[in-house]
Amino acid sequence: MSQAIVGIIMGSQSDLRIMKEAAEVLDELKVAYDLTIVSAHRTPLRMVDYAQHAKAKGLKVIIAGAGGAAHLPGMVASITTLPVIGVPVKSSNSIDGWDSVLSILQMPAGVPVATVALDGARNAGILAAQIIATSDSALSSRLESFKQSLQNKVEEAASQLESKGWRQSLH
Ligand code: RP5
């Protein structure tokens, strides 16, 4: 396995059902990552240590997911200069998900977190790959193919719908 260049962290093991989608898309795009649990509230010193050493260990982007009072992405972003992508997770302690979205999104000036949609871990993985692809032409080509596959799927669905009619396309 090659050196991890994306770090995926989450506040709890209960976030893994969502955060695994970031790992899955990075697997598809052949981007090496490591994945672990770092809680801003339950393991604050572990969080500081992770953020302080992330760049030195070779990471280029951090994806951080958390639910409820989701402080992990913002706190990690306050410590490192690596880009941090925040994934708001709808968790057992979320009211409706807005709490996690706003905790991650509404950062003070000077400390950005690139926030994806609620439970949007797959997009976080794609965005991390796109950031890395700005200086990796092989990855950039894989992303071109990935985008093309999205386009192909829609065009296939559209032509099926146009040829069969919408009633048949429901089955
Ligand atoms: C957050 O609290 C975690 O990121 C998780 O989304 C949520 C619930 O954690 P558990 O009580 O399931 O460990 O800090």
29 and 129 in contact (C-beta within 8 Å)? yes
* Beta carbons within 10 angstroms of residue 141's beta carbon: 11
Give the pLDDT of residue 1.
60
* Beta carbons within 10 angstroms of residue 8's beta carbon: 27
Q: How far apart are CA 53 and CA 163, in angstroms?
A: 56
pLDDT band at 169 (very low <50, low <70, confident <90, very high): confident
pLDDT band at 5 (very low <50, low <70, confident <90, very high): very high
CA of 11 to the centre of ligand 1 (A): 6
Ligand 1 site, residue 93, Cβ cutoff 6 A: yes
Residue found under tokens 């708001």: 88
Q: Whose CA is nearest to atom 9 of ligand 1?
A: 12
CA of 39 to the centre of ligand 1 (A): 8
Q: What is the chain's mean pLDDT, rounded? A: 97
Q: Whose CA is nearest to atom 3 of ligand 1?
A: 11
Reported as a single tens digit per residue, the pLDDT across 136-151 is 999 999 999 999 999 9
Reported as a single tens digit per residue, the pLDDT across 87-111 is 999 999 999 999 999 999 999 999 9
Reported as a single tens digit per residue, the pLDDT across 34-89 is 999 999 999 999 999 999 999 999 999 999 999 999 999 999 999 999 999 999 99
The answer regarding whether domain 6-136 maps to CATH 3.40.50.1970 reads yes
Domain ranges of the chain: 6-136
* Beta carbons within 10 angstroms of residue 3's beta carbon: 9
